[in-house]
Amino acid sequence: MRVEFFLLMGALLFTIGCVGVLVRRNAIVILMCIELMLNAVNLTFAAFAHENQSMAGQVFVFFVMTVAAAEAAVGLAIVIALFRRRRTTDVEDASLMRW
Amino acid sequence: MELLLGLIGVVAVFALVRSFLPARTLPAGAALGAVAVALLAYDYRELVGLEFWSGLIGFVAIMSALMVVIHPNPMVSVLFLILNLFCIALFFLILDAQFLAVIQVIIYAGAIMVLFVFVVMLLNLKTEEGLRLGGGPQRSGAIVLGAAFAALMFYAIRNRGEAPYFDPGPSGPGFGTARDLGGLLFTRYQFAFEAASILLIAAMIGAVVLAKRKLR
Amino acid sequence: MDPAIVRVLVESAVKIALFFFVMLTAVAYMTWVERRVSAWIQDRRGPNRVGPLGLLQPLADGIKFLFKEEVTPPHVYLPVYLLAPMLIFVPALVTFSVVPIGPSLGLLGHRIALQIADVDNGVLIVLAFSSMGVYGVALAGWSSNNKYSLMGGLRSSAQLISYELAMGIAIVGVLMATGSLRLSDVVAHQIEHGWNALYQLPGFVIFLTAAFAETNRMPFDLPEAETELVAGYHTEYSGMRFSMFYMAEYANMITASALAVTLYLGGYHVPGLARLGLPETAAALVQVLAFCVKVAFFLFVYVWVRWTVPRFRYDQLMNLGWKGLLPIGLAHILWVSFLVLKGWV
């Protein structure tokens, strides 16, 4: 019962992030919306950790943050490498393997 | 909860009306006006309650998330995402996860977002053109699924039961402190901890290799 | 409202108001101190015309800045341009809010801690708001819409985050010895076991070096020298907004000195004070004074180093941060863990 507010917030933020990934063109903004989704998930984990009084939820949040950091670093490096080749961060332009 | 939904509702209606005009950004005035109206309608005795602050922080979080997605300038999106991360850190504080709240500010808002700012500055990105909107089937699918999601949330909130929302109750002593978290990290989840450190080294090397210029 | 909440709010409001007033005055008079001490090192007089010993000079400078014309160039991105100076100034002040200035006093029937916020994660909040300070510099450079400002902002924020890492590692050494994240516990541990600077000397040196780099002071002030040479991140700012950057640098200096004192030099501890047997309020006053003297000493060291060591080039700076301080910091952590294991700390 106590946890619904945070679950609702997590759901809303996750949806907004999802829409952002689907709709935006700029690769960097897409990466940011992915971070938004990861944060929504973190919020949900922390809410459940609080409700069940179990620290396992918070440990998971810790690991999600670590993985998000690693993924953001590598993702941005890829975007930079792509930009050096094509002078654009538009994902619609990265269409070599599209049919 | 009602505060949050009321605020979002007012802003959503305004945005819908406004979207028929060629404007891509939610006017800050609308948001502020919604906050003022909601505050006037609210019971003043609740103003120091946790419910009020949670609702306010939730409103700011959702508004900033929307601005991340909507605003055409990538740097402004980054700034709104930083605001959103701060709101999530405040939520962690409300949820008795104090160590995670500060770690969120240090790592997410303080390091990862700096990385994003760097890349936006390095690539000198300006305002982008157009969204990737699909055609007819995507639009009708979006409307149907959006309505279904709204209905789902509505019924989930309606049938929540009798207990009040914000009854976090006292947590155990030391719940959410660094000592507790660290204790678990180094005993029960030690393998995951070591694996995460290897992951970070791999990511670091990968990022350096990918972004390096070729030496001529 | 709950009377306990009211009491906490009133207490915090008074402390914050006092702290604000003291901090802003200190920042203003730091300019005077810097000019007089630099002059003394360089064998000349400093400002000595405005008021006795030139003490009204900061006032004159403030009035000058107030009356300067604020030119807002048309090509800047206005919302971020206006936000950036605040983003540099505010983290310095917030970081100071967790620093204990003195022992807890018993005033008016309540125990008042001489610290605005004695939170469980004091040290982490320090690190968090140092990370926030990077944004002001980067955004000032970006919002100026000027290639040179952009590059200046990028380089100086790269410098800031590199040295943030070294600072964090030095702080980890202190944390391992103390066993708690509260800054008041850090001071209590030093009162009991001796000042951290005595047995954690490498960490102390690393922290000081990183603090110099974090505050953009000599010998790491390439971002400012760029202002002299071509441009810098605050080239498009004038008048009151420029003075915000200037004040923010001094505020950062004061905060960094206060942190160095708290983490390594025992905070407000005066060795041997307990033997004098003073009444509690007088003892607290002496300790607050001792804290101020120690911070003043570090500020003097800041100015002293500025006129002693030549400026680093950018690649030398980055090499020092990543290839020099980081390995020394890791070795220092090994050393402190050895000390803790043996129980000598």
Task: Tell me the per-residue pLDDT of C44-69, one tens digit each, with 9 for 90 and over.
Answer: 888 888 888 888 888 888 888 888 88
End residue of a domain, out of C28, C48, C67? C67
End residue of a domain, out of C67, C92, C124? C67
**Residues C326-329: contacts with CB within 8 Å, 24+ apart?**
C326/C165, C326/C166, C326/C169, C328/C202, C328/C206, C329/C166, C329/C169, C329/C170, C329/C173, C329/C202, C329/C203, C329/C206
| Claim to verify: residue C7 and residue C111 sit in the same structural domain | no
Residue B184 domain flag: yes
Q: Which of C77, C119, C157 sits opposite B114 (nearest CB)?
A: C157
- Taking each helix axis from N to C end, the angle separating C78-96 and C122-143, rounded to the nearest 10 degrees, works out to 160
Instruction: Indicate yes or no: CB of A59 within 8 angstroms of CB of B184.
Output: yes
Residue B212 domain flag: yes
| Claim to verify: residue C140 and residue C260 sit in the same structural domain | yes
Residue B57 domain flag: no
d(CA C124, nearest CA chain B) in Å? 6
| Secondary structure letter of residue B111 according to DSSP | I
| Claim to verify: residue C158 and residue C275 sit in the same structural domain | yes
Instruction: Indicate yes or no: CB of C125 within 8 angstroms of CB of B120.
Output: no
Q: Which residues of B touch A89 (CB under 8 A)?
A: 123, 125
| Secondary structure letter of residue C111 according to DSSP | E
For chain A, list the domains and their CATH numbers: 4-92 (1.10.287.3510)
| Claim to verify: residue C1 and residue C120 sit in the same structural domain | no
Q: Report the residue of B92, B98, B114 to disrupt the C interface, i.e. the one with the largest count of C CBs within 10 Å.
A: B114
Instruction: Indicate yes or no: CB of B81 within 8 angstroms of CB of A32.
Output: yes
Residue A62 at interface with chain B, using a CB cutoff of 8 Å:
yes
User: What predicted TM-score, i.e. pTM, was given to this entire model?
Assistant: 0.88
CB of A79 within 8 A of CB of A27? yes
CB of C95 within 8 A of CB of C259? yes
Residue B189 domain flag: yes
Neighbours of C (≥3 Cβ pairs closer than 8 A)?
A: B
For C300, the token pair is: 């003097």
pLDDT along chain A (99 residues), means of 10: 77 90 89 96 93 88 94 93 85 78
End residue of a domain, out of C67, C96, C117? C67
The beta strands (E) that lie in C34-136 are given as 105-107, 110-112
| Claim to verify: residue C191 and residue C54 sit in the same structural domain | no
Neighbours of B (≥3 Cβ pairs closer than 8 A)?
A: A, C
d(CA A2, nearest CA chain B) in Å? 5
- Torsion-angle region of residue C47: left (phi > 0), alpha (psi -120 to 50) or beta? beta
* Total structural domains within chain C: 2
Indicate the SS3 state at residue B97. coil
Residue B200 domain flag: yes
Indicate the SS3 state at residue C97. coil
Question: What is the pairing mode between strands C110-112 and C105-107?
Answer: antiparallel
Q: Which domain holds residue C304?
A: 70-342
Residues B155-189: pLDDT tens digits? Answer: 777 766 655 555 556 677 778 788 888 888 899 99
Alpha carbon distance A63, B185 (integer Å): 10
| Claim to verify: residue C4 and residue C111 sit in the same structural domain | no
User: Residue B21 corresponds to which amino acid?
Assistant: L
Residue A83 at interface with chain B, using a CB cutoff of 8 Å:
yes
| Claim to verify: residue C167 and residue C183 sit in the same structural domain | yes
Alpha carbon distance C323, A60 (integer Å): 33
Q: Which of B77, B92, B199 sits opposite A67 (nearest CB)?
A: B199
Q: Which domain holds residue B196?
A: 177-216
Structure confidence at residue B25 as a pLDDT band (50, 70, 90): very low
Q: Report the residue of C6, C171, C181 to disrupt the B interface, i.e. the one with the largest count of B CBs within 10 Å.
A: C181
* Total structural domains within chain B: 1
Instruction: Indicate yes or no: CB of C132 within 8 angstroms of CB of B102.
Output: no
Residue B140 domain flag: no
CB of C131 within 8 A of CB of B111? yes
Residues C98-124: pLDDT tens digits? Answer: 889 888 877 776 777 778 878 888 889
| Claim to verify: residue C125 and residue C22 sit in the same structural domain | no
| Claim to verify: residue C9 and residue C153 sit in the same structural domain | no
Look at the block and give the residue holding tokens 């009020």.
Answer: B52
| Claim to verify: residue C51 and residue C142 sit in the same structural domain | no
| Claim to verify: residue C81 and residue C6 sit in the same structural domain | no
Listed in sequence order, the residues at least 6 apart from A44 whose beta carbon sits closer than 8 Å to its beta carbon are A6, A7, A10
Instruction: Indicate yes or no: CB of B211 within 8 angstroms of CB of A81.
Output: yes
Q: Could you tell me the CA-to-CA distances from B183 to B18, B188, C342 in Å, in that order?
A: 52, 8, 21
d(CA C231, nearest CA chain B) in Å? 17
